[in-house]
Amino acid sequence: MMRHARTLALLALLHAGAAPTLAAQSPYSSSWDAAVLRRADVRAAMAHVEQGMPKHIEEWIRIAEMPGKSQHEQQRGVYVKAQMEAEGLRVSVDSIGNVIGVRAGTGGGPTIVFAAHMDIVHALETNLKVRVSGDTLHGPGIFDNSASVANMLATIRALNAAKIRTKGNLVFVATVQEELGLRGMNYWFAHNPKPDLLISMDGGLGPINYGALGIYWTKYVFTSPGSHTVTSRGKPTPVKAVADAIQTLYALQYGPLPEGAVINVGQIHGGVIYNGVPQEMFVTVDLRSPDPILLDSLDRTIGRIMQDAATKEKVGLRIEVEQKNQAGGITAQLEGARRHPLVQTAVDIQNQLGLTALPGAPEAIATGSTDGNVGVVAGVPSIAIGRSKGGNQHTLTEWADAPSALPATKLVLLLAVTFGDGVKVVRQAPIP
Ligand SMILES: [Zn+2]
């Protein structure tokens, strides 16, 4: 109810064409000059986004209903590629499956990457049918991240319809395997020159993210020769090693997020029968911290805990690393990051669009768990911006608020227009 009322108020504000809340009091530099809103081509593009909303929402639903489990994004990729080609972008698909559409600039401007991941976490057999009730769309993956893919296509069309030219190349990357550890974006970075700016489109509308939460996923597999129950007495068993290791793991002391860390054992599997000692049993650990030193030291500690448990119980241990996405969120790494005009410009545009942070809530935060992390760690000014309002992501009851994709898309458009000609500081107040 509350959410709905706020959305309507937001739309009213947008239709009134102005929001007087530009954060002129911010101590950070920005490239945003609200005068851009008076440009005829920008107004035409904004109008195109607004008028296109019914089709935009239809396309969003169409994308969400296509299979999209990580590594099975092909149908979505084919669709996105066709749409980008229809808009005259230079389109390619790399060997991991990312779809890249380049909207060439006139020259002399920055290269700006806009990234939206196509994959979802849900199993292939999941029913992806979207249910619409009022302004709310219900369906697995509707929010994370079909919304951003639709916003990206709407942005490209609006830029073209309004014949907006930028000096810099706008590179639209529909990525794959984000949910498996940012694999698509990591692949793109490994095979392309570093861009000047990276804007990841992923997450609920809210604070701008400009840091990177490091994420390590490790599988610890305990092994034994096994035995029939009758002859099992006193024999080594992976079960005891797993129990011991998990007890010790959860007794570890470390500070909480946002500065500290979080550890979750997401899976324990093993054994196939009642009447035997399992030959194999594994636990998976999801370890996250914005602090690379803490991340590595906890990773080593966990490895030691697992090894000690295996040794004590006389069972084998095999360690399989699923992902090691580095952290970029401590003060030294983010020196200057908050001050980069990209962050404050996104905040300023959000304020202009009426997406003002709730009182007391931060406008930008030094964390992030999106494709943007890859840029942060590579030293590229990077942010993650929201795609719509919504919730319950990664569950079957995922939902998204359709009208909120309008300001989210305008945010993408205005960032493209603002930075397309370069990063220039138009407002530089004292640094705190
Ligand atoms: Zn996502």
Residue 352, pLDDT score: 94
Whether 5 shows a pLDDT value over 60: the answer reads no
Residue 170, pLDDT score: 98
Q: How many CB atoms lie within 10 A of CB 320?
A: 11
Percent of residues, the chain, with pLDDT higher than 70: 92
Q: Are strands 197-201 and 382-385 parallel, antiparallel or unpaired?
A: parallel
Task: Report which of residues 256 and 335 the model is more confident about.
Answer: 256
Whether 16 shows a pLDDT value over 60: the answer reads no
Q: Are strands 316-325 and 214-223 parallel, antiparallel or unpaired?
A: antiparallel
Compute, in angstroms, the gap from residue 371 CA to the centroid of ligand 1: 8
Residue 1, pLDDT score: 34
pLDDT digits (tens, 9 = 90+) for 169-203: 999 999 999 999 999 999 999 999 999 999 999 99
How much is the pTM?
A: 0.85
Whether 349 shows a pLDDT value over 80: the answer reads yes
Residue 25, pLDDT score: 57
Mean pLDDT of the chain: 91
Whether 320 shows a pLDDT value over 60: the answer reads yes
Compute, in angstroms, the gap from residue 412 CA to the centroid of ligand 1: 16
CA-CA distance, 256 to 263, in Å (whole number)?
10
CA-CA distance, 24 to 432, in Å (whole number)?
15
Compute, in angstroms, the gap from residue 286 CA to the centroid of ligand 1: 17
Q: How confident is the model at residue 15 (pLDDT cuts 50, 70, 90)?
A: very low
Residue 360, pLDDT score: 84
Q: Which of 126-130, 139-143, 245-249, 290-294 shows the lowest mean pLDDT across its residues? A: 290-294
Compute, in angstroms, the gap from residue 144 CA to the centroid of ligand 1: 5
Q: How many CB atoms lie within 10 A of CB 201?
A: 31
Residue 206, pLDDT score: 92
Residue 14, pLDDT score: 40
Compute, in angstroms, the gap from residue 273 CA to the centroid of ligand 1: 37
CA-CA distance, 288 to 217, in Å (whole number)?
9
Residue 6, pLDDT score: 39
Compute, in angstroms, the gap from residue 369 CA to the centroid of ligand 1: 8
Percent of residues, the chain, with pLDDT higher than 90: 82
Q: Which of 6-20, 69-83, 176-190 shows the lowest mean pLDDT across its residues? A: 6-20
Compute, in angstroms, the gap from residue 147 CA to the centroid of ligand 1: 10
Contact 151, 57 (CB under 8 A): no
Compute, in angstroms, the gap from residue 370 CA to the centroid of ligand 1: 6
Q: Are strands 170-175 and 112-117 parallel, antiparallel or unpaired?
A: parallel
What mean pLDDT do residues 250-263 have? Answer: 93
Token pair of 324, please? 């090691």
Q: Which of 23-32, 272-281, 368-377 shows the lowest mean pLDDT across its residues? A: 23-32
Whether 356 shows a pLDDT value over 90: the answer reads no
Residue 29, pLDDT score: 87
What mean pLDDT do residues 387-395 have? Answer: 94
